[in-house]
Amino acid sequence: MLVKPEASGYFVTGSDTDVGKTYIACQIVQQLRAAGFEVETRKPAESGCIPGPQGELLTHDAAALQRANGESEPIERITAYRFRAALAPHRAARLEGQTLLMENLIDACARDHDDRCLIVEGAGGFYSPLAENGLNADLAGALQLPVIIVVHDRIGAVNQALMTSQAVTSRHLRVAAIILNQVTPMTNPDMDNAADLQPHCDLPVLRCAHGAILPPLFGATNG
């Protein structure tokens, strides 16, 4: 079952941190571009940035999104708020004497072109703190984009996927797909989280093997 791509875009969230959201988000951007969509990317806040030679903060996730989108956007537009400490963005901002508010992040996700598909990547899990006054869930709700959930494909993934899906729908948002991403190599060949998950949710469930290309997520745009 494939997703019909929507021109509005998608909010990419995780069941937890370190589940490979950026890796998957970049492949989603590339798939949309291949389908003929013009794309804008946003990761409004990124922590754990490294000081560069000119004192600028070098990003990892935003730089990957920039490359995936053909270098069409400056880093400053993709990630407006960049912090050194590898902590939740609001806490990393405090360490630099800043106050990060949800209003800042919503503004940072504004489109430059209304007719382009917007891909927004959150930070951490769906209920992870993102600003002094809000969670990733609050940003997703403000943007009203369909949500793609990325889950580490390991023992416990079915539980994580179903809980995150329920959390998303409780915010009156639509889950577009669940992607089981093998962040680390599969150690048990008998495990099949996709097969175990599918009977419990009426959603597209895709599996991305360790280090592999994401299988086609999007179906035809017509009909």
Q: Which residues are catalytic?
A: 43
The residue to which tokens 């000081």 are assigned: 51
CA-to-CA distance for 65 and 201, rounded, in angstroms? 29
B/e letters for 76-93, b = 16+ CB within 10 Å, e = fewer, are ebbbbbbbeeeebbbebb
**Burial level of 10, CB count in 10 A (0-12/13-18/19+)?**
buried
Q: Are 180 and 194 in contact (CB under 8 A)?
A: yes
Q: Are 93 and 99 in contact (CB under 8 A)?
A: yes
CA-to-CA distance for 210 and 192, rounded, in angstroms? 14
Residues in contact with 11: Cβ distance below 8 Å, sequence separation at least 6, in sequence order:
120, 122, 139, 140, 143, 145, 146, 147, 148, 173
Tokens representing 161 are: 């996927």
